[in-house]
Every structure is written in structure tokens, then in C-alpha cells.
Chains A and B, each alone.
Chain A
């Protein structure tokens, strides 16, 4: 007597089990999950290839959750909630729809195609609709085929193994593995540490949070120090290299941290996900703030009351990096490219004619996620960089399917995935035959340098500012010509209004850590500003080697403490009397802008945060059309 309703019966022609789609459905407790129950009590036969994950509200679903599912092997993901007006939480489903727009944009960029992702509103009473929708979606996903980015082994080291291991086993492994400290000390030279505390004295984090770089090393050195793996302090360091620059014995603190994190994650893949935040330093004792006694590892894994995911934005960018490591990835990441004549787009595995490879980095993803003014600014900055390269006579190659440099993964200690990604990126660069990689982002630049060295890719890696700085005579010449051409003054591309005549806009410059202290590039960007853009540059008191980090790298450390020193930094910049704060890193651009939001009216709030490329490009070239000559007049087809 089981009732099989014809319209909801799954199709008869089934493929082999291995080919069945794996579909995850986030369902809100009140409507969609209840709709599934209604379908259940009505015995509506459905496709057996989807799995429900119950959340209280569809608004609870973060884009990162969806991407995580894809990263873990989902062929399709659905988010399902109440109809508008029916939400148990009044407007939770509207919020879900807004977040879903972000998810969709990211999934599009990843080239997964729309058929794999869906948003549906299903009420508690709509059992039939539930069954039909699921059958339909499973069939859509089946048509779309297996996910190109599913892990080959069915899962990744990041999560799945973590789900299997008990926290006791993790703790035991971490405690037993003495090499966590030993090898880390060897690699970073930390055994030479004098325990002088200079590092803590300059550490921007230590000013605001109970964190001490020195204490961390002391603990690593001492057999009584306990396991570093479970210590929140390990995840607090920004790797800004501020300490590095003044360390009398040149301990490679960044390496120390990355190595220790990698080992911690190897011991417990979930270690990076759930770490309690260190308490804020009280007023006045910031400089000498010490790391508190850390809670036992198991407590942090079982997520004590103060536990939080240290990765901001739900870890969405790390998921993108993870997906980026998958061989089947075919992104759709160049939609922002205005004039394809200015560059050479290189297909996956193809060889480029150009010797220079322009490495774009994550900015298209950042732009999709943040959207709004920040997103527009990032895209404008990318376009400006290409215009500048064209002005300097460089027509670089761009990888159509450029993979992530793995910076976020390395910072999060996920070396297994990081290494897979590293090999894939190295292979991509090698295949393109590029002699020189021009990195747009300083973080990519540092990562790619190491990758090319380790993977023996025969090419040099430089940052865009280094390349353009070297070519600045050409740019200056072009500027003169651009000034003569009236049409170029229109300023069509940049988000920032034209700066006006030289000297009118006073600017100050924020050194990105990885451009400054990591590779020592301090002058090139400044020259671009003063000589090419011809703006008046006023330095902040802490600049060059003493520059302060923008407060976040690898999306790990975004908290009340970093906000404090970001605001300090903004105030410092405003105090120079500059209208604009210019930086050469998309990270600084995003994080400092974020810190500005909600600031009370004042000089720091009024400060315009700009990227170097837009500032320079608005002086030299208004649009790519002006750069690329007559052929660029018509838009190239994608």
C-alpha cells in the first residue's frame, strides 16, 4: 500500500551507484525540514541521493558552509528555507537570500556552474513540492556531472580525518610528538633566542592582546612549556615580521609560526578551526601582556565557551584556496577583464607567448565577496595595474584558470592541501613558460617565490611595484603624453576621483609587510607615487621597516585587538595631513577600509584608502582604450 506518487517518483533509468550525485541540502528547521517531514509522512518517494543538514534558519548558512561542502566533495548544494513572509525569525530568509547572492558569485567564479547550487523556499506543508524539488535538483546535479573539484580521495585532510579522530587521540599525538617544538626550533633558528623580549616590545598585537612572541618561543624551548599545538597564541601572530627586523639573533619568527601551525594541524586537522581568542590586554599593561596559561587542548577542541573560529568571514577564502587545489578546477575568473587585447589569456596547460606572467591572486574573489565600494575598488585596481603595465610596454600573460598561491592555507597550517596546491600552481607557471612572474599582491609574491624555488620553476618572481618601479621612466614619458591627450582625463576606470594637478593631493603610504620587511621593497612604490603620479608623499611616523601591519593576514586575526591598532594606524595616517592613504596590497586595502567603517566622524574616518595602482594610473592613463590603441576600441569577446 505504499504510495508512489507518479510525479515525484525518481526516474527509472539509474546510473551506477558510483555516478550518483552527492547532494547536500541545508534545510531550515521550521519550513523546509518540516516540509521533508511532510513528504515523509506522505511517503512521497524521492531520489535517495540528497542528505539534509538541519539548521534553525536558512539565514544560518554561511557561504563558507556551502563552499566547504563543495571542497569536501559535494556535487550539488541547496539552501532551503521558508517562503518570504513565513520565516520563523521574521526576516532570516531575506538574509539567507542576501548571503546566497555572495555564494552564487563565488561559485560562479569557481566555475562550478549554476546547476549545482540552488536556493529554494519550501514550506512545512509543501511535502509534494519538497519531493519534486529534490528530485529535480538531484537530476540537475546529475546532468551537471560529478563535481570537478571533488577531492580525488573522497575527502581532504582538513576536515574529514578530523571528524574521525577523537580529541583524546589528538591530544595524545600532540603531546607525544616532541618534534613539534624541536624541528620547528631548528627550522627557524629559534634555539638561538636570547629571550630578550625585543620582539614582544615591537609586536603590534602584544600592545593590545595578552600575547607575547617571546613567551611562545620560550615555551617551545622549555620541556615544561606544554604543547604549542593547542595554544591560542600560536594562532594570534600576524607574521608581520616586525619582530624579525629587530631580533638580535635573527630568529625567523614567521617560519617558526608557520612550522608550528603546520605541525599542530597535522596533529589535529581541526586545530585551526576552533581556537579560543586570547583575552584583550587591559588598558595600560599592553606592552607587557603575557600569554595566559593556555587551556588544555581537549578543551579547545571541544570548544569551550570562548571558542571561536579564528578565520574571519567563516573561513570562506580558505575554502576557495582548498577548492583551488583540485585538478578539475576550471574557473571563470576573468570576467573583470575589460580589454583582453592588453593581455594574453593563457588556457590551462597552454604555453604563453609572453615572457611575463601577471599573477592576479584572490582579488576577483574578494571583490565578489565584499562587493560594494571595496569590491569595485579592487576590480578597478586590477584594471589600473594592467593599464600601467601596458603603459610600460608590457603585455603580460594571464592564466585563465590561475590557482591560489596557497597563502591562506599556509598561514592556517594546512600544509597537506598547501603542498598539493603548490605543485599545481608550480605546474601552471611552468607550463606557461613564463620567465618572470609579476605578482599583483605582495602575499602572492612571497608565496610564489618560495613555491618557484622549492618546485624548481625557472623564473623570477617580482611584485608589480618592483616591475613598474623599474619601468617608471617609461611611465613618466607616457604621463607627459597622456596629459597632452585631453580624452584621457576622463578617468573612466578608477573608483577614486581624479586627483587633480600634481601636489594637490597629499598622500601617505602604508608599507605592506610582505613587500617591506619580507623582501625589502620600500622605495619603488614611493617612487611611483612621487615621480609618476607626482603626488606629495608624507610619511607616517612608523614607516618603512617600522611600518605597522594592517592587522590581518590569511584571514586569521580579525578581532577587537587588531581593530584597535588599525584605528591607531588610521589616526597616524590622518595626522600626516594626507587626504589619502595609499597601499600596494589588496589585504591592507580591505582591512583598513573595514576598520574605518563605523568610526566616529573625524580625520581617520575621512581618510580615503586607495590602492597604489589606481592612484598612479589616474595620472598616466585613464582607460585601457587610451593605452592599447585603435584595436582596443571594440570590446573583445570573452
Chain B
């Protein structure tokens, strides 16, 4: 949110509401009504004096009433803009009648203006993106759960606020009735979902949220004895979700019970609650005691959705969310030019929301680019203006700003695979506590505004003139540390020519004050003692830049997270520690050097690897935005896995047809399509890759992991052309879309390979296609397998083949995770079979029908007569054979609690999607993009950067990243295109200057740096005398500085973290003289 707020081309209108939208795609006119907040946001510094003065106390809506706020308030701590606002319903000022005016008098900045009236603005926009989110279901209407009756029944969002460190209880989980920590906690799933309150849909995020909370709760309240999760199906479908949920299940204090409680009652005189529930796996009715009951409330359409839909002229789906149109634009609404993303179209998980946001931006950009008006479409593409329809601030539903809110997982409870307590080794990199751009060198590299001024204030060698700014952070720091003492101490340190205190150093007032001090005192080093550089370094760096000072001359001291917050009970020691940290920072600051980013051009073209659904979509999108695109596909056909499918979930669109259409679109758009080709080698770096492309099979060993995909091509012919046809192209970015492969069942797994009528779901798909051809009277006679379905009356599906395997029972190539697509695919196939008059039996573990309309589809399938049999994880179905043929499926039905047997003519193994190991290894070798423990490519951050890799300029989409369905693949492809556009659209790139550099005079050419660097940044070249010498490619270097440690001669210098700076900090910490000085200051000199 801070990013968007800072973006020069994004204007955020809060308290704004769309009144009407008229016109055509590309030329809409939006009328927006603006409600006054009563506070001038330019003047407000967010100091909070007004709130202190306000006499009104009301429940805090953001804390869901768990905390209190005043009539003048800030919606939540990191709201953008940071200004306070007046709640007109609570404010005592009523025009001229009653004049309370306390806030106005308290405000020293004269920011409060009570007299403003609502206004209206007309905006000319080309496209509209609807991202109004969802609301939590209000469980009051389900009286049986006792919400609103018993104080100790809370919703999951209320619990979330309690878990939040900056929430009403500061991270403590308490029973609202007596404020005591709970010992036994029960989670009720599917509250307001899957049938409850007549909501048929599955809200998707609640299962994972409960699993995450179950783990997190124990961290917050170690006294917690148990968390019981009452569920119907555990829908952990998403990358890494299954593994996470299994981890929760394996925790000693977490118990999953399959059953939905009928009622929550209070146990008299105990303060406990009792839940009546059947453990459906044992058939026993239970009376569970809990002292806190959490209702996992589902998502419902945001208030005003119907209204907004009417004003926008777009349709809603059966559930009341905005409807998505079918087709290749996965975020299209029913009206051209209007796009829907996030949970406004149905409850979603965060990675999907983020990807959809990018996808919507790309679709809007494509629309704008297609207009005759010659307006640069690319620059703003990534962050298209975001109109707000509902009454709430636009960004609230998806609030994912990160400051003191800590790990995103503790907030908003949408999903959780992110920053959880991840065990070592098996997860994606946990950049964790949310870095909007504390990183600053992601896909984008550091983006420097055009008007960046050359910093001359500190020419090299300039005597350090350090300015120290101590932030009170309201009472967060100032309430604990002895600030006057620290200020005096700062002034006593060498090189310090200015020191001042700031109430909120990050406020615009303080930022201005810092700029003024820089100019007035001619400061050339800045030390800010405030919070963590991981979130606020960008803010202060930008401020330095604005003051004409090189941003690398800033040093931050984290006296909040490391002193006041964690030593709140020991203020003397906390202050002593702050002094030490300040001294260390000073020592480093004095040795900081101005660094200048190098500018490199960015090639205006992209390379896409893989012509499956995702690759084709990404390529088409990029082409539509005017970039040259080369699409390389090993297969001679293209279309990927989807191209081999008969019909796609959920709407039965033909897989081959969809793929064919996309292929045709890509061709028509002018994508340089290279079927039957492969990438041989990649060199270069972000914006400037050199890629060698040649025909498949021409390379010495063109081994493919999927023999089916290379077969049929004219091998000999191609080999002959091999060397001739190899060519090198230059490209700015690379999209990995190599897809996934179907799991190949092990020999005799469920009789596969041994029994003739045990096939995989992909084989069934072929037979369905053949049957369809027969039915349509086409050339079906010779279609292979057409006979296969003839004479078949019943089919058994075995779910989770090759998926969700515990480590103890893993088959070769099998996965620990859920493959996401098999449940919907089996149901889709069951429908197709029903159409052919064939009965289906689905043997499942959990029916994972998550996502818009999925649960409804599941219901339909049941209504259509498909039989669902549930088996337990460790007790898979048994295939009963009769002379080489499967005759029946026998399993222990966990819900019937008995063994059942179903006679079938065909057994279909619903196989999961697994990584294309060999191909992925090849790509990883060439691009150095890491794979996760599951073998899929690793995204840079599961939530904040779901399609970026840790290699700059290389993005990722489709099933190469993890199993997903066709729509999700399309969304990700557009999101990947968005990231590429954001990169290429800049035209040039500023390379991070805090990288390593080799002093050629010291380098002995030993090559150790070359051998240890994972990013291939250092290389050995021939020096002037012919001896080898290392050079570091600044574009590839990530600045970790590891090579500097390994260099035996200290020839490598890690800029911004030099040995000199590190040693100076150590010296600074242990320096004797300042200690003596600070003892003198605090009158403790005798103590030693």
C-alpha cells in the first residue's frame, strides 16, 4: 500500500464512491463522490493529538470491536494516506449546533476542517478494475453457534486481530469474557460456507487459515493445550498448502475432527463452551469442551456489491460476487473494459489475488494499448488506476502493507503458506515479515525517479557531517527509551553536527525537517534511529534523494524493534542498548560512501519458454502490449497439457480447442513461434539476455522427460539442420512456462500396467475425446481407445494418485502436495461419463472443490448420481482383479465405517501434476532459478511476488510453478506478463550499486569467487598481462558479499557492507571512550 501511495502515477481517493460509469471501453467517464474526512491530509502528520483530545470512545471497527477508538481516528496503523479522519456518525460537532471542536483546537497543524461538504469528481478512464473484495460472513444469523450470545465465541477475523501484535490485545489471545488466555480452543470450519446460511460456495481460504492459526496460537500462548479443528474436507489446495496443513495436523496440540457442530452451548459455572459434534470418521457423537470457539467464517460479497454491479452494468454470479466471463481473459467481467480481480469475484487466497491484480492491470493495459490514442500504455500498466466502488477505502480488503503488523500471515487471515514458522530447508525463501520493497532489487531493480539529482553534498572525501534523527514513533520508542539522554549522547558522538528528535520520523513533517536539516547543516551522512530498515529504509532513502543526498549515505538504527519493544520492561538497559546501536551506526555512517546505480538499456523483447496455456497467454499479452516475443517450445505442436484434454473444468470448454485458439491468437498477434525448438544456452543478465536457440534433438543429448512430446517429429531431418539452425537472440526478459507433467503411476500401483482396464485420468480424457468424435459422427472409427469406453457401464476414480503422499509412503515421482486439479477434473469427467450413460464412483480423501463455483459443481455431480466414497490416507482402495482385469474397487469407507465394494468396468487413476524434472533441471542449469523441495520452480515470495523468481528478469507462470487449473494458469500468465512489462516498459534499468567489485591489482586470479557464486556474477578474464583476473558483473551480483569473505587477498569489496564498515561497527560497539562518556552523561561513572 505504501508503494502505491508513493507511486507518482497513482492517485488514491479514499472515502470515495463510484456514482456512475458511462461511455465505452477506452473512453469511460466515471463520476466519483468524495466524502470529506474533516482532516486535510496534506497537513496532518498523524501525531494523534486530536484523537487524544476527542471525548468520544467507540468500538474500533478495524479491531472488530475488540478495541476502542475515538471519533477522530486512523482506520488502522499503516493506513495510506496516514492522515486521521473523522467519523461523522460519532463526531459531536453537528454543524453550528453543537461545537465540541476539541480536536480542532488540539491540532497544532490546523489540519482539521469540519466545514467541508461532499464533492463529486469526473474521471476520464479507459478501463476499470474492480477490486472491492469480500466481507466476512456475519455468523450472528446462525444462532446455533452462539456468536453474539456467548462472548467466547469469536470469528476467525477477530482472532486474527488478537494475534496481531499491533491489534487490540497486542498479540495476546484472550477470552473476551474474562481476558484470560484460552487453554482449549475449537475451530468450527465452513461457517457461512458450503451450505451454511444457504451459501453453497466454498470460501477456499478458511481451511488454511485455521491450520495456520493452530500453529501460530501455540507460539502466542504456550499454555494452550489443544486446538480442535472441526472440518468437513480439508481443502489445502495450493502450492505448499497440503504440506503446511499436514504440519499442523502433526503438531501435538492440533486435532482435526471431521464433523460440523450442531450447537455451541455454555457449560454452566465453568466458563466453558460445549460443542455437540459427530466425529464422522468414527460415528461417535462428541461433546467437545472448549474455552474459546473460533468460527471460521467464509467470505460473502462485500456490502454494496449488487449496487455497484448495477452502476457498473456488470453481472453477478449465483453467489452474488461479480461474475467472470468465460474465455481467455480470466479477469474479464461481463462488460468490455471492466475487469474484476481478487475476492470481489469470489473468496480467494492471497497469491491468487495478487496474480489476478497484475492480470487485471495487464488486460487493462492491453485495452488501452489497442486504442487509437497515442498514449504510452506501458508505463502505467502495472498499476492501473483502481476505482473504488464501496464505502470502504479501496485497499482495505486486501490490506497487505507491512510495517509493524509483522508477518503477513498474522493478518487478514486469508491464507497462510507464507511466513508461518517454516522449518528449515523445505520452503521457499521466507523473506517473511513483509518487505514491500525493503528489498528494492526484485524484478525491478532499483527504480530511480527520472529527476534523480546528482548528489554532490558528499563528494568523496568530504568530512563526515552526520545528522542524527531520533524517532519517538509516538510512544513506541519514546515511551520506553530515555530520549533526552539519547539525544545528548548522539550529540556527543564524533562527526555528529546535528541531532534532533522527531515524533514520527517517517511523517511528511519530519521528512521535511530532515531535508531542511540536511540543507542547513550541510549534512552528508544521515543516521535515523527509528524502526527496521527492512521496511523504512526506502522511505528515508527517498527522502535523502529528495534532499540531494545520495541514498546510500543513510544508516538506520532499529531502536524500536530491537530496544523499546523487546526490552519494554527494562528501560535502562533498553536505553543503554540504543546507545550502543547508535554508536555502531555512527561508526558505519562515517564510512558510508555514495553509490551510483549504473544504467543499462533493456531490450524491448521477451522470451517465453513453453507454448502451453500459460506460455501462449503470456506471449500473446506481451505481444499485444507491443513487445517482440519469441516463444520456444520443444514439442512440435504446442498447446501443452491442456491441448491434450477433452474438456476443461468448470465450463467444459474443449481443451484442445482452447489451446488451439490461444495458439492461433499468438500467431496472429505476431509472436515468433518456434515449435520443435529448445534453448541451448543463456548468458547475460536482466534486460540483456543472450539466448541460443536451436531445434530439438540437435544437441548432443536432447533427452526429454516426456517421450510423448518429442515423438513424431522428423528427427533425422532436424538433426541434419542442427548446426545451421542454431541462432542467438537478444531478449530483455524470460518467462518460464514449461508446465508440469502428469504423474506416471508406479508399476502395479493400483494395478496400473498389470490390469488392462486401469488407466490414468489423462488416458480417460483421450477416450472421452474419441467417444465424442464417435458421437458426433466424425472420423471416430479409427480413434484409438474409442472402443475402450464402449460397453463400459461404471467407472471408479481413485483420487490422490501420486499426490498427498507422506514421506513414509512416497512412490517414485510422487508428491507430498495436493495437485489441485484432480478433484475438479474427476468431477468434470464424471459429468462427461454421465452424459455417455456411464456411472461413476469417486474414491476420495477430501473433495477439494475450492474456488468459484466449484462446490456447487460438486453438489451437481452428487445430484447427477455420482457416488463418492471416502477413504483414509493410510488405507487406500484395493483393486479386485479377475484375470488381468479390474473387476471392483474395495475400500474402507470412513464415513460409513465399513468396507464397501463397488463393481466397476474401468478404474481411472486421478493422477496429479508433477514437475518435469529433466526439463526443469535443464532450465535451472541455464537460468539459475531455484526449485523448491517439491521440484517446482520457486517464486520469489509466495504472496508478494508470486510470479517472480529470484533471478532478475526471469519470471514464472503456469504449472511450472506448481499445480493449478487452466484459469489460474491464465491469470498467472498475465501476471507474469505484467512483471515483464513493468521491467521492459522502463526502457532502461538502474543496477543496484551495492554490489561486489574486484580490485584487479589485488586479485590473484585464483577463481574461488567464481566457484562459490550462485549467480555467476564473477568470472575470470585475462588481465592486462595475460594472467587471469576476476571481474564481477554488476548486473548479476546480488551484493551478498560472500565472495568477499572467500577471497584470500581481500581483493573483493562488497560495497555498502565493506570490511571497513563492518569492522568499524564492531569497534564502535566496543569502543571504550564513548562508554566512559556515556557513563559521565548518565552519572554512572563510578559504577565501573
Contacts and interface: CB of A to CB of B under 8 A. Distances in A.
Interface of A: 1-7, 10, 17-18, 22, 24, 29-31, 33-46, 48-49, 51-57, 59-62, 64-65, 68-69, 72-74, 82-92, 95-96, 99, 121, 123-129, 131, 151, 153-155, 158-168, 209, 270, 273-274, 277-280, 282-283, 296, 298-299, 302-315, 558-564, 594-595, 597-598
Contacts of A298: 461, 463
Contact of B591 (A165, A303, A314): A303
A89 B930 CA distance: 10
B422 interface: yes
A37 B1062 contact: no
B1002 A560 contact: yes
Interface string B371-414: 00000000000000000000000000000000011110100000
Given A304-B460, A308-B1050, A125 B419 contact: yes
Given A42-B171, A43-B171, 15 more contacts: A5-B222, A18-B1087, A40-B565, A43-B170, A43-B565, A49-B573, A56-B1057, A85-B426, A90-B928, A96-B1042, A161-B1071, A163-B590, A164-B1074, A274-B1060, A279-B1001
Contact of A560 (B568, B1001, B1060): B1001
A603 B577 CA distance: 59
A40 B532 CA distance: 10
9 contacts: A41-B166, A43-B165, A45-B569, A57-B1040, A59-B1040, A68-B1067, A72-B1066, A161-B1071, A165-B494
Nearest to A121: B424
Report the interface size class on chain B.
Answer: 35 or more
Contacts, number: 376
B360 interface: no
B567 A166 contact: no
B1045 A62 contact: yes
B515 interface: no
Contact of B1067 (A155, A595, A598): A155
Contacts of A153: 1072
B587 interface: yes
Interface stretch (B679-687, B752-760, B1022-1030): B1022-1030
A40 B568 contact: no
A55 B1072 contact: no
Contact of B999 (A52, A59, A277): A277
B1066 A84 contact: no
B1005 A563 contact: yes
Interface stretch (B9-17, B125-133, B429-437): B429-437
B261 interface: no
A561 to B, nearest CB: 7
Interface string B1057-1083: 111101111111111111110000000
Given A45-B567, A89-B1014, A302-B593, A30 B429 contact: yes
Given A2-B569, A46-B567, A99-B1045, A41 B1002 contact: no
B923 interface: no
B1063 A159 contact: yes
Contacts of B560: 40
A65 B166 contact: no
B1004 interface: yes
A60 B1057 contact: yes
A63 to B, nearest CB: 8
Nearest to A48: B573
A480 B15 CA distance: 101
Interface string B572-585: 01101100110010
Contacts of A5: 220, 222
Contacts of B427: 85-86
Interface string B211-226: 0000000011011000
Contact of A69 (B435, B463, B577, B1066): B1066
A40 B1040 contact: no
Nearest to B223: A6
Interface in B758-780: none
Nearest 10 A/B pairs, CB to CB: A124-B432, A40-B561, A83-B424, A59-B1042, A154-B1072, A159-B1067, A41-B406, A48-B573, A57-B1040, A72-B1070
A35 B432 contact: yes
Nearest to A210: B1001
Contact of A160 (B429, B950, B1070): B1070
Most chain-B Cβ atoms within 10 A of its Cβ — which of A165, A559, A560? A560
A270 B1061 CA distance: 11
Contact of A273 (B425, B1000, B1063): B1063
Contacts of B462: 302
B1067 A166 contact: no
Most chain-B Cβ atoms within 10 A of its Cβ — which of A48, A88, A311? A48
Contact of B1050 (A43, A60, A313): A313
Contact of B1045 (A60, A151, A158, A167): A60
Contacts of A305: 997
A18 B1070 contact: no
B1051 interface: yes
Contacts of B1067: 68, 72, 155, 158-160, 162-163
Contacts of B584: 51, 53
Given A125-B420, A131-B566, A160-B1067, A34 B1001 contact: no
Nearest to A169: B494
A125 B561 contact: no
Contacts of B422: 83, 86, 123, 125
B197 interface: no
B278 to A, nearest CB: 36
Given A33-B534, A563-B1005, A299 B461 contact: yes
B222 A41 contact: no
Nearest to B405: A41
B1059 A314 contact: yes
A164 B1045 CA distance: 26
A593 B1054 CA distance: 27
Nearest to A65: B1062
B1068 A83 contact: no
B565 A85 contact: no
B1051 A308 contact: yes
A559 B1066 contact: no
Contact of A167 (B464, B563, B1025, B1027): B464
B494 A41 contact: no
Contacts of A282: 1024
A29 B1072 contact: no
Contact of A51 (B430, B581, B1057): B581
Contacts of B1038: 88-89
Contacts of B912: none
B222 A306 contact: no
Contacts of A270: 1060, 1064
B527 interface: no
A266 to B, nearest CB: 17
Most chain-B Cβ atoms within 10 A of its Cβ — which of A121, A153, A159, A308? A308
Given A125-B420, A597-B1006, A299 B460 contact: yes
Nearest to A313: B1048
A420 to B, nearest CB: 15
B1087 A168 contact: no
B1001 A598 contact: no
B898 interface: no
B334 interface: no
Nearest to B1084: A17
Contact of B1014 (A6, A22, A91): A91
A127 to B, nearest CB: 7
Contacts of B1072: 151, 153-155, 160
B169 interface: yes
Interface in B154-182: 165-166, 169-172
A41 B430 contact: no
Nearest to A35: B432
Most chain-A Cβ atoms within 10 A of its Cβ — which of B169, B532, B1050? B1050
Contacts of B534: 29, 33-34, 37
Contacts of A86: 422, 424-425, 427-430
